[in-house]
Structure 1
């Protein structure tokens, strides 16, 4: 008899908790945006439709960021702006694809420290860090080599960790390795980089008979700052970003 009363009390308590939890979610039909975050799960949200609150899931790997925010459907990568902090969690399990831990996200390369993958609806696009940077999995972006665990030495500096390396066909720019880390450098005015002596000299050289006055190609000129990475133009397959929303 006592066990029966205890069991009934437990059921009543759980029901009460469920009601309180539901009550914590603002009614999206009573606010201007018509969209609110779920109170427990950061990859779910509620939207007002025909006067009723309807729950939706963010695309796999993304979390709710707010109406008109994020990369698609009001959802964004979990690490941006602390969109998924404790005690909230992602309830939906990852759906893996080739090179992608989730259908949407940015992930490290399996064999290269200078490359990474951007995944959009399970389609992986290979990206390259430039300007002497390496991919930092903790920051989800390209970063200075000394900030990247496990990839301290850059392939450009394999032969000489403190030497100079030519930069493509440029006559006045080159890589300067410092302890295995490359830094983009430019020769002083009126000098050119000599590929044989690996230093700046007075022209002409075998490759540069006159001083270059035109700007080098954009890919040589670009030198990203730490924490930045080039936004891929192919990040969104089939044109504009977007995918069919998942309704619960």
Structure 2
């Protein structure tokens, strides 16, 4: 009987021992397999969004702090603080000037390169102002010397000095040949063409009178490009000298200002009163010592 019990205990022990060994092997197998299963597990939506946000921040904020232009829109920029961008827009008609990340500056578009980011916000037009801010040409393309200066959608009409036209490229008045505004060239405006001359004369930029206005004349730059210029009030262009002089001294222009200025006014222009000497002091020479 004892022998049978002994054999039974041995058998039970063997079974128990084998079961524990298998358990240990199974646990080890699971430990090895767990990292593999974790690697194969797809990322959650939260993880993916975090990666997308980080990629977006790196595009909009090249540096953690500063002001940076949008890649596509010239009047949009980003105010970056600790790598987080705040999207901003310039006032309508102005664009972001990206000359320095340390400065937040919106400017008129003249002189700012927007070729790589040509998009702009939707215009907010008003009478004579295609956008709220800026310099804009007259609606009639035949009117070359008048333009509008718009601020907050309100306009001021400005006329260029005689002989100049508004340049849409620079936003200022310029010579017709430099403004290059269609229909506003020297030939269309003045009905004047520079006479053909040899190279030596052309190099002197010859001058020619305006046959319809004694006060004005044309300068032919390099003998080819006409630019209309003028003499000051009371004077006229003297073709013989190529200079301005008092109109009453030039036979063909002596009566030019009749009906515009009286003889007394012309006398005052030709003979201005001497400038008064500065008051005070005793006229000592500079650096002279005062009397002891």
1:148 counterpart residue number: 181
Distance in 1, Cα, partners of 2:245 & 2:72: 63
The answer to whether 1:198 aligns with 2:274 is: no
Give the corresponding residue for 1:24. Answer: 59
Distance 2:152 2:96 in 1: 16
- Verify: 1:132 aligned to 2:163, yes or no: yes
Tell which structure's C-alpha radius of gyration is larger. Answer: 2
TM-score, normalization by structure 1 = 0.56
Hey, what's the Cα distance between the residues in 2 that align with 1:43 and 1:142?
Answer: 25
Match of 1:85 among 108, 112, 115: 115
Residue 150 (structure 1) shift: 0.6
Where in structure 2 are the equivalents of 1:1-248 lying within 5 Å?
A: 20=55, 22-26=57-61, 30-31=64-65, 34-48=66-80, 52-66=84-98, 74-82=105-113, 84-86=114-116, 88-111=117-140, 112-146=143-177, 147-152=180-185, 162-163=210-211, 165=213, 174-177=215-218, 182-185=228-231, 191-194=245-248, 197-198=252-253, 206=263, 208-209=266-267, 212=270, 214=272
Q: Cα deviation per residue 1:141-168 (whole Å; 9 max; x = unaligned)? A: 211123432123599958xx932525xx
Structure 1 pair 25/52, CA: closer, same or farther in 2 (3 Å)?
Answer: closer
Q: Is the 8 A contact 1:68 1:74 kept in 2?
A: no
Partner of 1:230: none
Q: Where is the helix percentage greater, Structure 1 or Structure 2? A: 2
Contact 1:164–1:176 at 8 Å: present in 2 too?
Answer: no
- Superposed displacement of residue 57, structure 1: 0.7
Give 1:213 shift: 5.1
In structure 1, how many angstroms separate the alpha carbons of the residues matched to 2:182 and 2:129? Answer: 21
Uncovered stretches (5+) of structure 2, i.e. residues with no partner: 1-50, 192-208, 220-224, 232-236, 257-261, 274-292
Structure 1 residues not aligned, in runs of 5+: 1-15, 167-173, 216-248
Partners of 1:134 and 1:144 within 8 A in 2: yes
Aligned length in residues: 184
| SS in structure 1 of the partner of residue 58 of structure 2 | helix
3-state SS, counterpart of residue 81 of structure 1: coil
Q: Verify the 8 A CA contact 2:162 2:229 in the aligned structure 1.
A: yes
Q: What are the superposed Cα offsets for residues 155-184 of structure 1, whole Å, 9 maximum, x if unpaired?
A: 9958xx932525xxxxxxx32156985212
Change (3 A) 1:52 1:18: closer
Greater RCO structure (CA 8 Å; 6+ sep): 1
Q: Could you say what secondary structure the match of 1:80 adopts?
A: coil
Using the TM superposition, give the Cα deviation of residue 68 of structure 1 relative to its aligned residue in structure 2, in angstroms.
Answer: 8.5
Higher strand share: 1
